[in-house]
Amino acid sequence: MPVKTVNRQQSQSPAQQLQMQQQRDVETGLYPTIPPERRSPPSRPQTLRQDTVDMEEIPLNQTNGSQEPEDRRKMREIFDKHDSDRDGMINTHELKELISNGYCRDIPAYIAAQILKRADQDNDGHLDFEEFYTMSLHHKWMIRNLLTRYCRYVVPPPKPLEGDEPDGAYEKQMSICPPPLTMVLFSIIEIIMFLVDVIHFQDDPNHQDRIGESTSGPAATLFIYNPYKRYEGWRFVSYMFVHVGIMHLMMNLIIQIFLGIALELVHHWWRVALVYLAGVLAGSMGTSLTSPRIFLAGASGGVYALITAHIATIIMNYSEMEYAIVQLLAFLLFCFTDLGTSVYRHLTDQYDQIGYVAHLSGAVAGLLVGIGVLRNLEVRRWERILWWVAVIVYFALMTTGIIIHVFVPDYFPKQEYN
């Protein structure tokens, strides 16, 4: 058999031998590296092969030839990972998520849109894989994760683009199913109780000039916190249904609906209800301990609990929220402004009847209970410690208040039983 092979090769012309060798190379895919045993005999002219082979098929650099498929494979993995809707395209929000995984945290969506526009060669508003891969070759931040350099090339516009949506992890948790109606229901009950007393005194000439300001109506008499009827335990919470005047009612309704719905969209109804009721209970408990003979009406304890609950959720979800620092500063500014106004009014108005202790107690309860029950999207070690501190402090304060009420009755006014 070997003799016959030699004879066949000797009978073929050099051109035929070259053609057969090239065919074998194509079939085995060995253009870049042809093993020695498959190469043509040394007697074959070397220039003939180079003249007949398309040089574009042979990488000029063997290292680059083996590296390019690996780069494309890595880029394909990144592309598929962030193509969340699996449509073979990367849109603005998917590109922003990709960018946010690097050092350029909380980049607004309109900056991602500008980056997308720079790399979108066919101007269809999306990046296909080839455009994505080309961008990765031109901008090595894709591979090296040095996103900060690239962000500096993009100047943010003065206003967000139309259609820009909040897409922080916290904001993505917002849901209207079930509908956020908890604070709306509380508000409706408070309005009904207020109207019951208003209708009761509508024909009384002594109350014509002070609509809704009487605390002797049927609803107020039943629900107000009365220090002389502390044995009626529901009054520690039910006083939130009693309001003195229309302005008192409207201010509480506006704030609690506005703040309560915002919390309920993320944290669900039962957590918001717990925070609100904890603030109401803490308000009456604190007032009873510091001013044992003071009557109490209004939902301000619950309202202040909602305010500080927003501060609690900002603390626990700071890294997952967009513009968290702006929200935190806004709530802190409101709290300190209200505190300063309250202190000034208390010092200058001798007829001031606002229950500041109820406000303060509700605010403390809202912060502690908010840390304890509101959702924490990504729990960190220091947040676990803070959670335990908040829960222990809240229950310690409430337990102390209950013990004083039960075992130190002489501190409080004598109860009236009728």
pLDDT, one tens digit per residue, over 24-43 is 654 544 444 444 444 445 44
> Are residue 225 and residue 333 in the same domain, yes or no?
yes
3-class SS at 90? strand
Q: Which of 95-104, 131-140, 185-194, 371-380 has the highest mean pLDDT?
A: 185-194
Structure tokens at 383: 């947040």
**Own/partner long-range contacts of 119-122 (Cβ < 8 Å, ≥24 apart):** none
> Are residue 126 and residue 210 in the same domain, yes or no?
no
pLDDT of residue 31: 44
- What is the total count of domains within the chain? 2
Domain end marker among 152, 167, 188: 152
> Are residue 267 and residue 189 in the same domain, yes or no?
yes
> Are residue 373 and residue 284 in the same domain, yes or no?
yes
61 assigned to some structural domain: no
> Are residue 294 and residue 183 in the same domain, yes or no?
yes
Q: How far apart are CA 32 and CA 265, in angstroms?
A: 61
> Are residue 74 and residue 203 in the same domain, yes or no?
no
Per the structure, the complete domain to which residue 299 belongs is given by 179-409
pLDDT of 102 over the 70 cut: no
56 assigned to some structural domain: no
Give the residue numbers annotated as catalytic, written as ranges: 300, 359
127 assigned to some structural domain: yes
Q: Quick one: 309 exposed, middle or buried, by C-beta within 10 A (0-12, 13-18, 19+)?
A: buried
Q: Would you place residue 276 in the very low, low, confident or very high pLDDT band (cuts 50, 70, 90)?
A: very high
> Are residue 248 and residue 360 in the same domain, yes or no?
yes
Structure tokens at 191: 């309005």
| Domain containing residue 74: CATH number | 1.10.238.10
**pTM of the entire predicted model:** 0.60
Domain end marker among 94, 117, 152: 152
Of all residues in the chain, the percent with pLDDT exceeding 70 is 67
> Are residue 220 and residue 143 in the same domain, yes or no?
no
5 assigned to some structural domain: no
> Are residue 249 and residue 148 in the same domain, yes or no?
no
> Are residue 226 and residue 266 in the same domain, yes or no?
yes
pLDDT of residue 25: 54
pLDDT of 1 over the 50 cut: no
> Are residue 232 and residue 351 in the same domain, yes or no?
yes
pLDDT of residue 63: 41
> Are residue 147 and residue 233 in the same domain, yes or no?
no
What is the H or E stretch that residue 114 is in?
helix 109-119
321 assigned to some structural domain: yes
pLDDT of 343 over the 70 cut: yes
pLDDT of 155 over the 60 cut: no
Q: 57-66, 284-293, 349-358: which has the minimum mean pLDDT?
A: 57-66
Half-sphere exposure of 47 (CA within 13 A, CB side): 0
| Domain containing residue 390: CATH number | 1.20.1540.10
